[in-house]
Amino acid sequence: MKSLEKIRNAGLRPTKQRLVIADILLDGQNRHFTAEDLQDEISSSGNYMSIGTVYNCLKKFRECGLIKQVKYSKDTAVFDTNTNHHHHFLDEETGQLIDIDNNKVILKNIPEIPNGFINNGVEVIIKLKRNN
Amino acid sequence: MKSLEKIRNAGLRPTKQRLVIADILLDGQNRHFTAEDLQDEISSSGNYMSIGTVYNCLKKFRECGLIKQVKYSKDTAVFDTNTNHHHHFLDEETGQLIDIDNNKVILKNIPEIPNGFINNGVEVIIKLKRNN
DNA sequence: AAGTAGTTTAGAATGATTTTAAAGTAAATA
DNA sequence: TATTTACTTTAAAATCATTCTAAACTACTT
Ligand SMILES: [Mn+2]
Ligand SMILES: [Mn+2]
Ligand SMILES: [Zn+2]
Ligand SMILES: [Zn+2]
């Protein structure tokens, strides 16, 4: 599917900037990146985009489910092009994330959900340390 | 154990400010709080402390293992007085955390650790949504 | 008591993200 | 197609949590 269609299907206006970002991000690869990482890739691809627009686009993409955001990697916002329910290995030193397929992790016990709430998704983080 | 001992045992100098904080935090209750939350509690207890000092103390307490830090709750730093290995319920709307005992969660499968790394701890987050 | 290293503080600096408001563009309407 | 409307982009300023700076202070050592 073309970037134009993906953006239209998501209910967003296909601006030049959103198309540039969609071309970079929505290529089937699973990536974890910051706003600045993306701005650098945009530059490398021969385009220019203000950092404000990068943030605006990422917010819109997130809101309509084209990407996700990961909260535990770095102190800066990290986005994730893998929109499936999945888990992560996390190298706490560097913030590097590696995807874990949902079906690779099986929880035997899940504790009782507190009163007034419902389970809205389980996320497993396996923290990693370099071995030597 | 008295706050003075706890601080000494942790290898820190028992300053007036660290004692005030230890009195508030290390009372056996399990709390999740921000630097500003703590500064408010310090004020309520009739003491004054600059926000810089609150941050300095929390950093020292964290470094010597008297408290932990949770990375996925809010955008601001959240600290945790429960230093045992444990998991969390997370209300994503509010950032509220509820502790889950380590033994309440059993993982049946853990995927193979990537090459060059070792497992440095598994953390489970059960996201919650208000039910109605 | 004197010296040294560590700590507190107000205020400045930092840096990621958001806001502002003006100019530009996509979609809707005539 | 021309006009209108709503949304988007942008540079620059603002925000805000956190860290840094450097001077005054304090705990510990000798
Ligand atoms: Mn860069
Ligand atoms: Mn407050
Ligand atoms: Zn991922
Ligand atoms: Zn906790």
The alpha carbon of B132 and the centre of ligand 4 are apart by a number of angstroms equal to: 26
CA angle A66, A72, A77 (to 5 degrees): 55
Are A120 and B92 a contacting pair at CB < 8 A?
A: yes
CA distance linking residue B16 with residue B13, whole number of Å: 9
pLDDT for position B80: 98
Q: How far is the CA of A108 from the C1' of D2 (A)?
A: 66
Listed as ranges, the nucleotides of chain D within 7 A of a protein C-beta are 7-13, 17-21, 26-28
CB B45, CB B54: distance < 8 Å:
no
Query: Nearest by CB to B126, which of A122, A129, A130?
Result: A122
Same domain for B16 and B66, yes or no, is yes
Q: How far apart are CA B124 and CA B106, in angstroms?
A: 10
Same domain, B20 and B46: yes
Considering only CB atoms, which chain A residues are within 8 Å of B130?
Answer: 116-118
Structural domain of residue B19, as residue ranges? 3-79
Nearest neighbour of B72 by CB, restricted to A72, A91, A120: A72
Q: What is the pTM of this model?
A: 0.93
Sign of torsion over alpha carbons A7, A12, A15, A16: negative
Q: Report CB contact under 8 Å: B105, A105.
A: no
Q: What pLDDT is attached to residue B57? A: 98
**CA end-to-end distance (rounded Å), chain B:** 44
Whether the Cβ atoms of residue B79 and residue B62 lie closer than 8 Å to each other: yes
- pLDDT-derived band at A96, boundaries 50, 70, 90: very high
Cβ count near B25 (within 10 Å) = 21
Pairwise CA distance, residues B104 & B76, whole Å:
28
Which residues from chain A sit within 8 angstroms of residue B116, using beta carbons? 130-131
CATH number of the domain where residue A25 is located: 1.10.10.10
Do residue B72 and residue B90 come from a single domain?
Answer: no
Based on the domain organization, do B70 and B7 belong to the same domain?
yes
Q: Do residues B72 and B22 share a domain?
A: yes
Q: Is there a single domain that holds both residue B56 and residue B103?
A: no
Task: State whether B9 and B65 are in the same domain.
Answer: yes
Q: What percent of chain A has pLDDT over 90?
A: 89
DSSP B113: P
In B24-116, at which residue ranges do the beta strands (DSSP E only) sit?
A: 32-33, 68-70, 78-80, 86-91, 97-101, 106-109
pLDDT in tens, A6-42: 999 999 999 999 999 999 999 989 999 999 999 999 9
Residues A73 and A95 in one domain: no
Tens digits of per-residue pLDDT, B29-84? 999 999 999 999 999 999 999 999 999 999 999 999 999 999 998 889 999 999 99
What average pLDDT does range A66-85 have in this prediction?
94
- On whether both B49 and B110 belong to a single domain, the answer is no
Domain count, chain A: 2
